[in-house]
């Protein structure tokens, strides 16, 4: 890590700096909250013993909170680059913690961050009625996250405007649940990154690499090669 004595006193810097063979890897971290009251807020469910019932998981709301957190920190990193704090050769990573609402966000089949940075919608499966065999499975294309007002694009990592971001660290770990077995640490590479982080660099539990395919993009968890998703 960059020692405190070497950090700037004025103007600010990203939250963490990892030094490796003279190369700097900057990490700008954020833990988004549940949002302001309204239809886009992540609302905690009422327990059954207090009169609650079954409700849909707040996936859309969590995607909005995560997208807003990414945008906030992407703007911050752009500012650091403009000020010369982060140089053209430095790696720039955004770390997003969903600890405040991680209990409401599933990790399978994909971590929520994937459906925030890429146009990945709901999972689907097609079954043959006669044989019961699975004919097809995948994810619906979903280029935006719906909300009140204008929808939010979820194509940041397919957009050259965010090429200055190397990738995103994603975590649902919180004080109530520190188990990385149920809440794995995930790294998502930006396929358009100007300064990419090398694959298998960190201590991630899941690591998604996205590459162009014939008619779109294909993402793989390279730590578990059988996990694949496509973004059209």
- According to the model, what pLDDT value does residue 135 have? 82
| Phi and psi, residue 146, nearest 5° | -75, 150
pTM of the model: 0.85
Q: What integer pLDDT is reported at residue 63 of this predicted model?
A: 94
- Phi, psi angles (nearest 5°) of residue 15: -65, -40
Cα–Cα distance, 26 to 19 (Å, whole number): 9
pLDDT of residue 62: 93
- For residue 3, the model assigns a pLDDT of 57
What's the pLDDT at 232?
47
Query: Mind listing the pLDDT tens digit for each residue in 122-151?
Result: 878 889 888 888 888 778 888 999 998 899
Q: Which parts of the chain register pLDDT below 50?
A: 9, 226-228, 232
Query: Is the CB of residue 94 less than 8 Å from the CB of residue 28?
Result: yes
The tokens of 124 are what?
Answer: 């689907």
Contact (CB, 8 A) for 171 and 105? no
Query: Could you give the CA distance from residue 177 to residue 214 in angstroms, rounded to a whole number?
Result: 41
- Per-residue pLDDT, 227: 46
For 67-76, how does the pLDDT look when each residue is reduced to its tens digit (9 = 90+)? 999 999 999 9
What pLDDT does residue 123 have?
A: 79
Q: Are 188 and 117 in contact (CB under 8 A)?
A: yes
Please tell me the distance from the alpha carbon of residue 216 to that of residue 205, in angstroms, as a whole number. 26
Residue 206: what pLDDT?
94
Residue 203 DSSP SS3:
coil
Distance CA 36, CA 42 (A): 9
pLDDT of 11: 55
**Residue 63 three-state SS:** helix
| Residue found by looking up tokens 């925030």 in the block | 116
Domain boundaries, the chain: 4-231
Give the pLDDT confidence score for residue 7 in this predicted structure. Answer: 54
Instruction: Map residue 75 onto helix, strand or coil.
Output: helix
pLDDT of residue 148: 83
pLDDT at 134: 85
> Bridge-partner residues for 137, per DSSP?
125
Half-sphere exposure for 110 (CA within 13 Å, toward CB): 27
């Amino acid at each position: 890590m960059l020692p405190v004595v070497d950090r700037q006193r004025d103007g600010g810097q990203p939250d963490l700096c990892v030094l490796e063979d003279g190369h700097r890897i900057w990490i700008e971290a954020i833990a988004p909250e549940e949002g302001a009251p309204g239809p886009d807020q992540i609302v905690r469910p009422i327990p059954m013993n207090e009169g609650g019932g079954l409700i849909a998981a707040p996936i859309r709301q969590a995607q909005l909170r995560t997208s807003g957190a990414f945008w906030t920190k992407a703007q911050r990193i752009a500012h650091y680059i403009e000020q010369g704090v982060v140089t053209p050769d430095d790696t720039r990573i955004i770390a997003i913690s969903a600890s405040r609402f991680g209990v409401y966000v599933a990790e399978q089949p994909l971590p929520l961050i994937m459906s925030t940075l890429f146009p990945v919608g709901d999972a689907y499966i097609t079954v043959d009625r006669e044989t019961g065999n699975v004919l097809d499975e995948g994810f619906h294309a979903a280029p935006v996250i719906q909300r009140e007002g204008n929808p939010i694009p979820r194509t940041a990592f397919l957009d050259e405007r965010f090429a200055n971001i190397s990738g995103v660290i994603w975590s649902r770990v919180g004080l109530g649940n520190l188990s990385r077995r149920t809440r794995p640490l995930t790294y998502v590479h930006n396929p358009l990154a100007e300064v990419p982080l090398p694959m298998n660099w960190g201590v991630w539990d899941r690591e998604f690499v996205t590459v162009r395919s014939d008619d779109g993009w294909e993402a793989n968890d390279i730590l578990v090669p059988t996990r694949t998703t496509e973004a059209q």
